[in-house]
Amino acid sequence: MRSSMIVSRWKSIVLAKIRASRFSFALWLFFLLLVGAVSFYDYPGFHFWADGGWRGWLMVCAVDAVMGPLLFFVVFWPGKARHLMVFDVVVLMTIQFSAMIWGLHNVLKEHPVADCYTINGFQSLTSEPYRLSGLHVQRLATLSNLRPPMVYVRLPTRQELPDLIAHINRGVPAAAQWKYLEPLSAPDCILNQERYQRAVQGWLKGFGLDVWHQWQTHHSGTQPGQWRYGFFAGRYRSVLLVFTRSDKFAGYVMLPGELPHL
């Protein structure tokens, strides 16, 4: 009898805690959807998986779940004085909103604003190097109509090298300096180097055959020689970017492992 009363009492306490956590859970669910939408927008296409849009979203959701509904469930206790309960709610809501703002800030801060082709392949850049260089990211739209823009970073001349090294030491790579940026149609861009393109086509016919089969699922009837290629080194995944013969971006295939050595 006594044990059944204890079970009944704890059951009512747990149910009361769950009811108290409902608003916090609804707020967490709303923010989960909001951050998810922002992540998909700011990490478009392959960036969501390759550059960690999914990771930022997952981290925000996990942290906010702990800071929100779970804390409500632990702290709330039925029968507590009203003024103490109001104080708890205010503190917990403040913590939850702070976690939300922190997470959203990190997602926005780390999102890619440009895909730059250097000697090492395509890599994305965040807004920080452009802020340091004073270059407005919107200016890159004159070189590419993609979002984020895809641009080619030319090699410096011997005379430009000392100045470039000085800028790099200040946190400003060549990809954030306007004088080194060109459209992908530039003659010395890798997309226009036939020797490299033939090497990628050979890889697609051999070790990269599975990657080619993935591309063919949406582009059946085509041959490797009909496209141009560039590899993207993301923070978490590598990607094969595919272009038309006129250097227009056509799509991508996520690679199962590291970039191939060609």
pLDDT score recorded for residue 7: 59
Residue 1 has pLDDT above 60, yes or no: no
The residues, any chain, with a CB within 8 Å of residue 131's CB and separated by 6 or more, are: none
Q: Where are the domains of the chain?
A: 2-109, 112-185, 193-262
Sequence letter at residue 178: W
Provide mean pLDDT across the span 46-59. 86
Least confident of 34-38, 93-97, 110-114, 182-186: 93-97
Is the pTM higher than 0.85? The answer reads no
pLDDT in tens, 7-25: 566 667 677 677 777 777 7
Contact 172, 148 (CB under 8 A): no
pLDDT for the residue numbered 59: 76
Compute the average pLDDT of residues 232-239. 94
pLDDT reported for residue 160: 94
Q: Residue 182 in 3-state DSSP?
A: strand
Structure confidence by residue, pLDDT tens digits, 168-208: 999 999 999 999 999 999 988 888 889 999 999 999 999 99
> Token pair for residue 208?
């990269």
